[in-house]
Structure 1
Amino acid sequence: MARRRQSVTIKHVAADAGVSLQTVSRVINKEPNVRPEMMLRVQEAITRLGYVPSIAAQRMGGSRSHLIVSLNDRDRTIADWRDRQGVDWVGQMLLGGMLTCAEHGYRLIIELVDTHSDHIERELLAAIAALQPDGVILTPPHSENPLITNLLAEQCISFARIGSLKSGPGFAMTMDDERAARIATEHLLALGHRQIGFIAGPAEYELSGWRVDGWRQAMAAVGCDTVGLLAQGDFGHESGRVGAAVLLDGAVPPTAIIASNDRMALATLDVARTLGLDVPGDLSLISFDDTPMVHFTHPPLTAISQPIAEVTARAVELIIADQTGQETPDAPIVVPATLIVRNSTTVPRESK
């Protein structure tokens, strides 16, 4: 059996540069109080030996691990992966988080935790003990779970709460879902629609309520009633089918529907076709998320594009700033979503 090639370690660098292990670690971690001539010697040794710093080496001489962990909901994430329907929340998180971590010499790790588990505290403490992260990024519904946020605060771990503006520890972050729903509704109102239905996400997600609020605000601003135009979904395809069927079977069917995620929007598109409705001729349709699958439907869907990569990158920057003693904002961080107009919205048929 062939022997594994011995890699260059921090000990080799220290011996080559003629300095202590702690000095090499301080140079790797870009810590202050290293004399310029010592820094140069270590950097030259690193280049000469082709050394690549390991996490273990980065931890020497200091308490930082240079690891940031993103906690995602286990059941929903695994279901998305198994369905293979183009849901790219995790992919966009990795894009923003990993690239930003790399710029600062950090690593990003994804951990899946069941927020409804009776053993969530034990799971989380085990992950913290094994990884010793410098920071944690929480996504919904973890970002709204006080058991998780309080535990992280007690452990003195920096963390960001994406999709939660509730008071409490951690950096509160939002993609301004209320405004996003409002501009989606305003787009339809500007086309002449007045019967605009909305399929909401699950109540356990704080952002679901924000989106409903934004839709209602835009409708109220032009004197439009929303009675009978709200359906409850759970982000799943079947709930979207049920919600769309309820709305389109109402006494005054909507001429447009906003679905609170792409799966429910695709379900609405299926229901409309089953009923013989043309999209957008008979029914305009807007989705949230803007995942790849809505780009290639017929017609391509107008959608709210959520800046997941950007908000994750900002979360990494806040955690690193907090770890390195830099000033961080107290107010919630807003990274706004945008509306991408495609071919699934047009003026209502009676206005043509």
Structure 2
Amino acid sequence: MSVTIKDVAKKAGVAASTVSRVLSDSPKISEKTKNRVRSVMEELGYHLNENARNLVQQSTKTIGIVMKNSASESLHDPFFPEVLRGISAYCNKQDYSISITTGESEEAIFKDVVKMVKGKKVDGLIVSYSKKDDQVISYLQEADIPFVVVGKPFGRPNEILYVDNDNVLAAKEATEHLITLGHREIGFISGNKEFEVTDARLHGYQDALRNHQLNERADFIKNPASPEVVRESMQELMQLPTTPTALVVTDDLFAMHILFVLRELAIQVPEEMSVISFNNTIFSRFSNPPLTSVDTQIYQLGFEAARCLIDEIKEPSVVKRSVIIPTFIEERESSISSSQKA
């Protein structure tokens, strides 16, 4: 026969209600009593029926993770597995499980979210991106379920709990790194303009140019929608009468594609083109040459997102707050002084 709460209570010399309070880590029970009850539980081999407790508490002990893109795309981008690692680490500490959207299109991802919420499969959700006019965010607000966004929400940051970097400052510092090296003709390559991070980093790049009295050139700014179309943007850039001597690239994955294209065009990095990118993923360390990259502390973004969400699930807040994770530049061989160029 399986061991029950009553068996534990009898052996520990306490009421069954006291054992229940120990299981929920009630502050009303002394540490001495908690330790005695837990010792008896271990001795008797008592295991809490999580499903039964969750049913009583109307909790799933599960959080949903909303991917930026399809499952296949997201898992090929080193950002998502690392942010997921941070989320998983905190969830594990709190005995929470995770459920990830598996849709292969924007609409399919949205339907996954609706199923999670309406089916009461999760206690809350982490949206791993911030995008203009996103139907997922609008739906979650209407559904009145706890959620956290990784990224600053468009147009309504005070209404939504979020975890992010100061991407304006990070891009400003990245651009100034190149300016400090003597570069004056600096290009900017980013991803889809619908995502808030693209907009923020463009503003940081523009701020740096303005602060150093450098001209902003519209033809030096490219926004390829995906890494696969970087080649076209780079070819356009390198065919200009005056070409950049350095590039700010908003993602390591894009930067890897740029290195391939520059190699095809027989343009040497960093001798003829310096490059700084973002995220400091494993790609930046093992690219050729290794990339100077802004470390956005992806793991910490995920860890803090999970912490904020679980805190919100346990005790909903009236005022939504934000958590800003600091960034720093990891210098490697892809950027050098303009005076050192061949």
Band the TM-score falls in, shorter-chain normalisation: 0.7 to 0.9
CA deviations 1:78-102 (Å, max 9, x no partner) are: 1254xx5xx3223222321122122
Q: Name the SS for the 2:126 alignment partner.
A: strand
Is the alpha carbon distance of 1:286 and 1:339 closer, same or farther for their aligned partners in structure 2, counting shifts above 3 Å? same
Task: Determine the C-alpha separation between the residues in 1 that align with 2:271 and 2:315.
Answer: 56
- 1:25 to partner: Cα distance: 5.1
Cα shift at 1:39: 4.5
Query: Of 17, 20, 23, which aligns to 1:28?
Result: 23
Which amino acid is the alignment partner of residue 188 of structure 2?
A: F
The answer to whether 1:14 aligns with 2:5 is yes
Q: 1:65 aligns with which of 41, 60, 70?
A: 60
Q: Which residue of 2 aligns with 1:112?
A: 102
Pairing partner for 2:244 from 215, 239, 254: 254
Deviation at 1:123, TM superposition (A): 3.0
Q: Provide the rounded CA distance (Å) in 2 between the counterparts of 1:44 and 1:300.
A: 53
Pick aligned residue for 2:188 from 167, 192, 198: 198
1:120-131 correspondence runs (5 A): 120=110, 122-130=111-119
What is the aligned counterpart of 1:342 among 327, 332, 337? 332
Structure 1 stretch 172-181 or stretch 60-69: which is displaced more? 60-69
Q: Residues 66 and 134 of structure 1 are in contact (CA less than 8 Å); yes or no, is this contact kept in structure 2?
A: yes
Q: Does the Cα contact within 8 Å between 1:229 and 1:254 map onto a contact in 2?
A: yes
TM-score by length of 2: 0.85
- Among 74, 78, 81, the residue aligned to 1:91: 81
Is the 1:241–1:271 contact (alpha carbons within 8 Å) kept by the matching residues of 2? yes
Question: Which has the larger displacement, 122-131 or 173-182?
Answer: 122-131
* Residue 220 (structure 2) aligns with: 229
DSSP-derived class of the 1:117 partner: helix
TM-score (norm 1): 0.83
Structure 2 match to 1:149: 137
Answer with 266-275 or 192-201: which moved more.
266-275
Paired with 1:66 and 1:164, the residues of 2 have a C-alpha distance of: 26
CA distance in 2, matches of 1:119, 1:204: 17
Q: Which amino acid aligns with 2:116?
A: A
Q: Structure 2: give runs of 5+ residues left out of the alignment.
A: none
User: Of 67, 76, 79, which residue of structure 1 is paired with 2:73?
Assistant: 79
Structure 1 CA distance, aligned partners of 2:65 and 2:16? 31
Structure 1, gaps ≥5 residues long:
1-5
SS, match of residue 73 in structure 1: coil
CA contact (8 A) 1:25 1:61 kept: no
Q: How many residues align structurally? A: 335
Deviation of 1:22 after TM superposition, in Å, equals 7.2
Equivalent residues of 1:241, 1:264 under 8 A apart: no
Paired with 1:25 and 1:109, the residues of 2 have a C-alpha distance of: 28
Report the 3-state secondary structure (helix = DSSP H, G, I; strand = E; otherwise coil) of the residue aligned with 1:270: helix
Matched, 1:158 2:146: yes
Code of the aligned partner of 1:191: L
- For the pair 1:44 / 2:35, whether they are aligned, the reply is no
SS in 2 for 1:69: strand
Of structures 1 and 2, the one scoring higher in RCO (CA 8 A, sep 6+) is: 2
Determine if contact 1:177/1:207 at 8 Å carries over to the other structure.
yes
Please tell me the root mean square deviation across aligned C-alpha atoms, in Å: 3.0
**Residue type of the alignment partner of 2:139:** L
Q: 2:49 & 2:186 partners in 1: Cα distance?
A: 55
What is the CA-CA distance between 1:214 and the residue it aligns to? 0.7
Percent of matched pairs sharing the same residue: 24
Q: Which residue of 2 aligns with 1:277?
A: 267
- Equivalent of 1:302, from 264, 267, 292? 292
Does the C-alpha gap of structure 1 residues 27 and 170 become closer, same or farther in structure 2, counting only changes over 3 Å?
A: farther
Distance, in Å, in 1 between the alignment partners of 2:193 and 2:89 is 33
